[in-house]
Every structure is written in structure tokens, then in C-alpha cells.
Chain A
Amino acid sequence: MNTIKDKTILLVDDEPAILQMCKSILKENGFENILTANTALNALEKMSVKPDMAILDVMLPDMDGFTLAKTIREQNITPILFLTAKGEINDKSKGFEVGADDYMVKPFIAQEFVWRITAILRRTYKESEETSFLLNSCKVDLEQAEVYREGQEPVTLTAKEVEILKKLYANAGRIVTLGALCQTVCGDIYIGYEKTLMSHIRHIREKIEEEPSSPVSLITVKGIGYKLVLKDKTR
């Protein structure tokens, strides 16, 4: 059922142990189609099978990762995540310059690695994105912009509410800051948007929560932001 987990991911790193670890982390999290390469040349060969995403190290024996990313970008738009020990801000900016979608610095936590990959895949392959998810007391379908509750008529979501839920869902189980949400709703941070945001949240709660006054799915983190809690996931 999970289309994102079916995507092919190409891992490129000259350190076999790291490749092995990344592979095992991804497999544990349900990603089955994983390719590995330990040189840039090898990676370019593997690109012929058109993986859905590439995870690159910067320091490779035959070519640096930035050049590799550039070469890949010339041929297709496969999303690229840099996973490297080079954590300098200059390296990061270079990474994004050559067209990376994200940049992670080693050492890293397995969960974050998976979140970021999932987020990139969701962003890139919208058409196949899961657009519906289960909450404590209802099912939300973002495509249809509707909320289904057992034994009740579907409730319609407004466009803004869908936007907010999309943002929260993409980061499900994690806090989304007020700034990030305001940006989603209004395209800019703040200046009175917080109140607008709060009223949107209130409306969403009325639609998805059993008891809007004591929410369990859309949780407020005071002063910081909001968090969406999915039904079968406790994070």
C-alpha cells in the first residue's frame, strides 16, 4: 500500500560499512529497493536503471560528490540527498548549488535519515503520495479534502486547512513551528498571521477531533508550534 517505500534509492559512499548501515536502516524502515555504489563511476552506471532518489557522499575516490551530483542533474531530475562528513557551511552551500534537495552531516541519527528521505520522496512524487491517513477518531483524505468519520457524513476541508494538514502530515509526529505553518498559510512569517493560523487550527480541530477542546491528534506545543499525531504511530 505504501508507494513511497517502493521507490528505488541509490546509496553512494566509499565506506562499505556506511553503505551497509544505511542499507540496513532503510530496510528496517520498509525501503526494499536499494542500490549501492562505492565510486562515482559505479554510481553513474547504476543511474541507468533510473533510481527514484540518490544519496551521495561528497568524498569519493574518483570524483567529488558535488561534480557527481552535477553530472546526474544534467541527465535527470532525480532528487539528491548529500550524506557527508563535510559539515562546513561552505560545503552545504556548494551542495545546494549543484542541485541537492537536502544535505545531512555525518554522524546522524537513523530516524532523521529516514524522515528526510521520506520527506524528499513525498515532495518529489506527489502524484503517488499517500493522500489519506488515519487519525485517532477519523480518516483524512487530502486529495478529496474530506474528513470521514464512522457513521457520519464526510466533512469538507477548506484549501487552507488542507495546506496546513499537508504540512503537518509531512512532518507527522514532529513539531512544526508556528513560523513554518504561517509560511504555509500566508507565504510569510508572522505579522498578525498567528491569529489567522490559530483560527484555522481551531476549525481543523472541530473537524478531526472527537473533543476539539482537548485535542489528541492535532496537539499544541505552547509557544512553539503544532504536532500531528497519526493513529498507529507513537513517536
Chain B
Amino acid sequence: MTATTLPSLAIARRLPNLWDLVAVVVVFGALIGGLHVAQGTLVPIDTPGATEVSLDPSHLPEYAVRTTLRMFAALFASLLFTFTYGTAAAKSRRLGLVLVPVLDILQSVPILGFLTFTVVFFMRLFPGNVLGLEFAAIFAIFTSQAWNMAFSLYQSLRTVPADLAEASVSFHLTAWQRFWRLEVPFAVPGLVWNTMMSMSGGWFFVVASEAVSVGDNTWKLPGIGSYVAMALEQRDIAAVLYAILAMLVVILLYDQLLFRPLVAWSARFRFETTASSTASDPWMLRLLRRTRLLALGGHTVGRTLSAVGGMRLSFGLPRSATRLSPGKSRAVDVLCLVVLALAVGWAVWRLTSFAATELTWADLGQALLLGLITLVRVAVLMVLASLIWVPIGVWLGLRPVWARRAQPVAQFLAAFPANLLFPPFVLFIVHFQLDPDIWLTPLMVLGTQWYILFNVVAGAAAFPGDLREAATNFRIGGLLWWRKVMVPGIFTYYVTGAITASGGSWNAAIVAEVASWGDTKLTAHGLGAYIAAATDKGDMPRVVLGVAVMSAFVILFNRLLWHPLYAYAQRRLTLT
């Protein structure tokens, strides 16, 4: 960029290289694939083949592309949601009063239960068109991705370092500039991490959302999810394996092509004052940096975006000095509270009148009882998973070589939709005539236990060497070592993992307490099965009741157990 570069050298540097060729192929391939899929979404719903799925593996690549595009569409929607909702919640004190608790609840509501109704809604929006189904599927995936991303942005915006905030005011940055120069960069590492988690969570919903039945009609949107559903219906174990393989490839591809480079890139925004040793760049990032055409394009895009972020838009927001005594805004506060109280009152009235006509106290009692059964399941699973994965995680984490190998594997396993692994379990249970109430239970934790593992690995890897040496020096071993040395040391990490795992298990209950293989349908007693059954029957009041009770259980579980544990760990067991 300096004027000292010789012209001849500059020309030589602009010549495309071999990497450019690769890049061109990749870019155009993706474009053509995308166009093909876009055509498929606009046809009427009764077009032959529009909502049919074939088990022929040769169709899998196309299905994989369609499913992936759905996921990215949902991701895009989640990002839009994140930047509007999260920003509003953080920037406006009054909106935050409502938006933050709502988000907290949304996080714990098992949206899976509402799938049928969202499908009906979107079908009415686009009558007779596949687009309605597409939107319904994308919306379902969106609901599994958006909340934690929005929460991450909200939390970052609320914890912007005070000195940087002061610096940006004193250098006269406008609200717009401040947002893009300070707040968003500060939020990037957390957001990238949560986006990755969301993408993993989304797979679980893909399988559930691509094949939907409303009443007597069943629609299958071409995609990996519906392929799996079809395979399960037709008892085709080979097809299930093909689907698993296709999914592996897709996950591997976007992990390598997108998320690895993103994570490496986002390390620059990590707020730390000392340089930490960083791992070498992933190959994709190196490719992007070395490919001249792509690098040039990226540079131009980056400069344009940077210019947009640097624009001096102010939106008339006051950038004046902080005032210390909020005086006149009291009246507005009161007004807001009154409006809020009225809205809540109306909602309560609507809910009670709705429930009174459709439900009885017995229904509530039944739902609560089933909720308790599911609660016992979740609790037992968490204990079992902890007993298994904590020792393994510690063993791995204390050996740096193994920790480095285990970490990506565990993350990958967490991303893998566990519902694909249900068929072997069902076969196993049917073959040995086992009790579904007990043997369906492990399915709930199949996909979520990995969060415990990789958090424990991270915790053990971060355990200070001098403390370990001290423990060895004083000959602390056996149970004492676990009780006084290791468990307190990794506890914060463990709780973080366990919160995610237990939340995920609740959500999985809806799918895991009912599993089918062809005509064989195994049902366990529990709130998940209750919701699933009500959904099948299109019994809206009971779905709402089931989901509400489950949300209440999740929230209570979080508030009464995990939050206090986490607060305790933060206060007492954080190594600083």
C-alpha cells in the first residue's frame, strides 16, 4: 500500500496463481448449486417430485446441499435477529427490562413441540407453494440457533471495557462508529463461538423439521433430514448409514471451510492484553490469504465494510456527557411499567380463559407427574454422564498431546445429530425386548454429553502446573486428590458444560422418549412423549400445556441448581 512498490512488481503480484483456479471452481460450483436449489423452492407443492424423497444414495449430494443451505438461511436469520434484538436489549434500558427475561425463557422453551403449528402458519402464508414448507423448516432451525447468539451479543455489549468506552466518547465517535469499531469487535469471539454451537444444535432440528406431518398429511422436503425419516420408515439401515456419512462430510466441510478460519480470525478480537501463543492458521485461512484474487476481493470488501462502519451516522442519539441523576425519565418509566402490566394482565387472562375451556386440573397434574419422571431421567443421566466423562476428561486434559486430539473430536461429536443414532438403539431394544422406560433414556444424553467432556478437558488443560506439582509434592493421591485438588480446579468448566448438556437433554426428551423403526414404535413415560403424542394428534392445548410445564421445569432446574452452582464456582473456585 505504500507508494514504494515498483510498478512491474505490482503487475506480477496481480497475476492469478494456481490457488485462484481452485477458488474459481469452488465459487462457481457453489453459485450453480445455490441457483438449482432456489429454483426448487418456488414450485407449487403438488409438482411431481417437489416433496418426495428417494432413498437412492445418488440423490444425497443434492439433499445435502439443500439441507446445508437451509441451515445457513436460518443462520442468517439468526444473525439478523441477534443484531436487532440483542442490540435493542442492551442499548435500551426499558426494552431490556422485557427483552432479557423473554430471551431467557425462549432459551428454555422446547420449540420442537410447536413445530406442527409453525408449519400450518407458514403454509397459510404461501398457500400451495413449497416455499411455505421451506420457511417452516428454516424457522424451526432458526429457533434452535438464535437465542444463545442473541444472548452472547447482549452480554458482550453490556461488558464493553469502561476505558475503551470512555476513549471512544472522548475521541468523538458517533453511536454508529462506536457500535462497529468497539462494541461489535468486542462481541465477535463470543458470537463466533455461539454461532458454531448453534450450527451444531441446528442439525438436531433439521431431522425433525424436514419431514412434517400435519393431521393426515405428511410432507417431506428434499434434504438429509427427510431422507433419514424415510429410511427409518422403510427400515433401510443402509440408507441410514449413507445419510450419516453424508452428514459427516457436510459437517467436516463447513467446519474446515468456514468455522476454523472464522475462529482463527476472531482470535484477533479477543480482549487480552498479552500475546498468547496461538496455533497455526487453519489451511483454509491460509488459502484465503494466499489466493491473490480472493485476497484482493476480501480486501476490497473489508475496506468497504470498514468505511461503512466508519461513517459518521449519529441517529440523533445524544453523545453528551453521562449524567448522574436520572430525574425526568421517571415518568416514562412508570408509563412503560403500566403498559407492561396491562399487556401481562391481558395475556394472563387470555391464557387462563383458554386453559379453562380446554384443560382440567387433572391434565396439569398429569403433565407435572410426567415432568417429574423426565426430571428423574435427566438427573440420573447427568450423574452418570459426569461419572463417566469427568475422569476421562481429566485424564485427557492433563496430557496436552491427547487434549489437543480429543478437543476437536468431542466438539464434532457434539455437533453430530444424535437422532441419527437412534435406529441402532431401537433395534437393540426391540431385539432384546427391553423396557423402553429405562433403555430409551440414554438417547436423551447421547448428543449432549460431549459438552461435559470438552469443557472438562479444557478445564483440566488449564489447571495450573504449580498446583499439580504441589499436590504431587505433598503426596496427595486417590480420593483426596479428586476432592481437594482436581474437582475444585475444573468445577467452573464442568458447570458450564453441564448447564448446556442438561438443557439439551430436556429438549431431546421430545424426540428421545418416542423412537420408531418402521412400524415399531417405542414409547417411554415422560413429558417428552406426552408432548410428542399431543403433537401427533394435533391437540394444541395439551402441546401448550406440556411445553409450558417443561419450560417451567427447565427454568426451575436452572435457577435452583445450576445458577447457584455457577455463582459459587465463580466466587470460590476460580483460579486467578
Q: Are the chains A and B members of one assembly?
A: no
